[in-house]
C-alpha cells in the first residue's frame, strides 16, 4: 500500500550552481535525484541557494532528512588546502558555506539522516574535519578514470568493508559503480570511517559515521543507477527509511 503524503518523510536536497553571466547564478537539481527519492517513498524538496543561516535553520526544522547532491569542487580554503590550485573546477563558496552549515547542524543534532552523493561525500568529510584530494589524476594516478564520461554505466569495482552500515545495506563486499568526480577524500575526518574503496587504486568511495545516526556518503552516483542497480536502490531505501524513523524536532540553539 502506498503511504499517504502525510506519512512520507520530507527530504531536503541541496542545489547545484551554474553561473549565467555577470553576477547571476542559477540553482538546480538534476531530475535523477528527485526521481530516486520519490521512488522509495520520500518527498523531495529542493532548498534555495542561500547562506542566510536563519532561513536555513527554519528550513531544517521542517525536513526529515538531508541529501547533499553532486556538483563542482569544494573550495580548499575550507580545509586548509591550496585555493590557487589550477585544477579546481566550478567552485562556489556560497554553496560550500550553505552545505557545510547544514551538514554540521545535523551532525551536531545526531538524529536525522544525511546522505551525500559524490561532492556530498566530500562535503561531509570536510564538515566533520577532514581534507580532500584536489585532483585525483595528479595525486592518485590514472589506474581508474574517476571522471568517466559513461555516467550511467557501471565502470569500475568498489570494495566494501565488512561490518559497515554500507555492507549491511548492499549485502556484498564488492560492487560495480559509475564514476564522475574530480576531488576525493584525503585525510578522513576523525569521527568517520571508510566503508568502501576503489578496488584498483584505493580511492575512498564511501564514508559513514559509526553509531545510530544515518550519516553516509557514496562517491559514485547512485541516483543515476537506482532503477536498475540494487545496491544503489538499497542506499536510497535505507536513507528514506531512516528519515521516516527519525521525526524532525527543533534544532538546539548554538
User: pTM, whole model, 2 decimals?
Assistant: 0.92
CATH says 10-245 is which class? alpha beta
Q: Read off the C-alpha cell for 157.
A: 569495482
Per 3-state DSSP, the chain is made up of helix, strand and coil in percentages (nearest 5) of 30, 20, 50
CA–chain centroid gap for 241, Å, is 17
| β strands within the chain, DSSP E | 10-13, 16-19, 25-28, 43-46, 65-68, 114-117, 132-133, 156-160, 174-177, 184-185, 192-198, 204-209, 215-218
Active-site position among 146, 221, 226, 229 = 221
Weakest-pLDDT range from 75-79, 89-93, 115-119:
89-93
Active-site position among 32, 99, 208, 223 = 223
Predicted local distance difference test score (pLDDT) of residue 5: 55
Residue 222 has pLDDT above 50, yes or no: yes
223 is known as an active-site residue = yes
Predicted local distance difference test score (pLDDT) of residue 22: 66
Mean pLDDT, rounded, of the chain: 90
118 is known as an active-site residue = yes
Active-site position among 32, 118, 205, 226 = 118
109 is known as an active-site residue = no
Residue 2 has pLDDT above 50, yes or no: no
Predicted local distance difference test score (pLDDT) of residue 150: 81
Predicted local distance difference test score (pLDDT) of residue 3: 46
Predicted local distance difference test score (pLDDT) of residue 85: 84
Residue 217 has pLDDT above 90, yes or no: yes
Residue-wise pLDDT tens digits, 154-189 = 878 999 999 999 999 999 999 999 887 888 999 999
Residue-wise pLDDT tens digits, 107-154 = 999 999 999 999 999 999 999 999 999 888 877 767 766 766 787 788
Amino acid at each position: 500500500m502506498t503511504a499517504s503524503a502525510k506519512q512520507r518523510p520530507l527530504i531536503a536536497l541541496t542545489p547545484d550552481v551554474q553561473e549565467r553571466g555577470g553576477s547571476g547564478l542559477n540553482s538546480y537539481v538534476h531530475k535523477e535525484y528527485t526521481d530516486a527519492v520519490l521512488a522509495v517513498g520520500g518527498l523531495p524538496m529542493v532548498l534555495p541557494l542561500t547562506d542566510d543561516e536563519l532561513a536555513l535553520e527554519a528550513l531544517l526544522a521542517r525536513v526529515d532528512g538531508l541529501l547533499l547532491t553532486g556538483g563542482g569542487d569544494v573550495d580548499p580554503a575550507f580545509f586548509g588546502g591550496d585555493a590557487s590550485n589550477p585544477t579546481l573546477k566550478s567552485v562556489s563558496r556560497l554553496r560550500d558555506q550553505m552545505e557545510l552549515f547544514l551538514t554540521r547542524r545535523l551532525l551536531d543534532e545526531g538524529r536525522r539522516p544525511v546522505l551525500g552523493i559524490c561532492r556530498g561525500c566530500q562535503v561531509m568529510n570536510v564538515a566533520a574535519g577532514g581534507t580532500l584530494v584536489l585532483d585525483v589524476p595528479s595525486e592518485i594516478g590514472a589506474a581508474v578514470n574517476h571522471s568517466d564520461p559513461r555516467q550511467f554505466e557501471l565502470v569500475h569495482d568498489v570494495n566494501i568493508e565488512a561490518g559497515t552500515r554500507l555492507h549491511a545495506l548492499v549485502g556484498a563486499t564488492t560492487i560495480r559503480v559509475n564514476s564522475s568526480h574530480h576531488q576525493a577524500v584525503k585525510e578522513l575526518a576523525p569521527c568517520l570511517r571508510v566503508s568502501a574503496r576503489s578496488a584498483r587504486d584505493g580511492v575512498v568511495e564511501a564514508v559513514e559515521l559509526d553509531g545510530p545516526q544515518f550519516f553516509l556518503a557514496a562517491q559514485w552516483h547512485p541516483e543515476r543507477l537506482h532503477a536498475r542497480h540494487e545496491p544503489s536502490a538499497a542506499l536510497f531505501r535505507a536513507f528514506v527509511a531512516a528519515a521516516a524513523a527519525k521525526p524532525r524536532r527543533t534544532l538546539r540553539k548554538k
